[in-house]
Amino acid sequence: MASVESLANQVQTNLIHYNFWTKVKIHDINNGLKAVIGLPPSKLDSNDEEDQPEWVIPRSLVSNSSISVKEINEWFTGIAILEEKRPKRITIGIVNDDGTVVYYFIHDGIVKPRQN
């Protein structure tokens, strides 16, 4: 199965060289979990602040594809420890075995959808 490091590296490269993010770094959060943080080239949401860094949690779609609310909450608490503040939103980077990474926002609580 793909290691946590390998997944984090894939997401990091994808963010820098496919999505043109900058200052992308990998952090250890709790339980051997890794999170990637970086700056997107422009605001991801009109309500975001300029140069607002974004946390991305890498996950593999192929191995260990199950997910729970409890687990998501752990990501939030893990990042809260690093940031000293629970983030309003994180992003999950889902890595497929063909190298595709798809990114989804996970907002804390019930928020209204972006008006697209």
Partner 1 sequence: MIEATGGSIDIEESFKAVEIDSTSIQSNQQVILDTTEIPKILLPLISRNGQPEVLIFNVEDIKRLRDKYGILGILIGTLAQYPQQNFFLSVPLKLFIWEVIWLVESGYAQLIDQVNYRLDKAKELQSKGKLQNNNVIVMTKKDPNSKSASQLESREANFIVTPNTDSHKYSKDYRTICADDYEVSLKDYLKSYIESTSLSQNQVRSYYQNFKYLKKQGFFINPGLKFGGDLVLYPGDPLRFHSYSIVKFNMVDLQDFVVGGRLATSVKKNIVIIGDVDESEEDGSTEEVNDEFIQSLAKEPKKMSFSIEWSGFG
Partner 2 sequence: MAKRNNKQQLNKIYANALPVTLSSEKYGIALPNLFPHNPISWLFYLVRLVQVNTLYSVPQSTVELVNVKYEDSIFKVTDEESIAKLWRSGFFGKGTLSRSEPTWKERTINRLNLEENEANVVSMEEVTSKRRDERKKFKTERSKLQDLELKERKGDISADEAIQLENLRNVVPNLRSANFKPGFGNDNKDTVIRLEDLELIESNILIKNLEFLQLQAIEVFFLKFALNVVQVSNLTMKQLFYECCLLVENSPSPNVTNKFILDYVVYHHYRSLGWCVRSGVKFGCDQLLYKRGPPFTHAEYCILIIPNDGKEKYDWFEMAAKARVIGTVKKSFVLVYVDFPTQAKFDLLWNSEEYEDEGQRFHDILHSYKVTEVLYRRWAPSKTRD
Partner 3 sequence: MAEERDEAVITKDEANFDVEDEVQDWKLLNKSLTSGTGIPKRGEKEFEPDGTNVQIDSLQESRNAMYEALSGVRGHHLKQKLVGVWDVENGRCIVPHAKGNYFRDVGVPVNIGNKIRGGMSLNPLETVYLVERGSMVIYLGNEVYSDFLQSNEDGIEFDYDQLVALDLEFLYSLAFNGKEYSIEKYQVYAYLKRLGYLVQQFKPIGDKDQRTKLAERKTGTSLVNTIFGYVDHILKKNRLFEVLKSKLHNWGILAAPLFHGLHFATKHYFNFTDVFKSLSLIQSYSTYDSIKEDPQPSENYDLTFNVWRPTPTFSKKNPPLPDFQVSVVNTDVARFPNLETIQALHNRLNFQFKGEEGKTVIPRVKVVNKKKSSMPPSKKELRYQRQKERQSKLDEAIQKRNQYNKVRDNKLKYGSDGRTVVIATVNNGVLNFINITEGDFKLQKNMDLDDIYPGNDHGIIYIEST
Binding site for partner 1 (CB under 8 A): 14, 18-19, 40, 44, 59, 61, 65-70, 72-73, 88, 91-94, 101-116
The three-state secondary structure class of 61 is: coil
Helix H or strand E segment including 60: strand 54-60
Work out the number of other CB atoms within 10 angstroms of the CB of residue 33.
Answer: 17
Q: What single-letter amino acid sits at 52? A: Q
Stretch 75-114: interaction string toward partner 3, x if CB under 8 A: -------------------------x-x---------x--
Tokens (6 digits) for 69: 């609310």
Helix H or strand E segment including 22: strand 22-28
Instruction: Determine the interface stretch with partner 2 among 48-56, 60-68, 80-88, 103-111 (rule: CB under 8 A).
Output: 60-68
List contacts with partner 2 (CB under 8 A): 1-3, 5-6, 9-10, 13-14, 16-18, 20, 22, 24, 42, 46, 61-63, 96-100, 102, 115-116
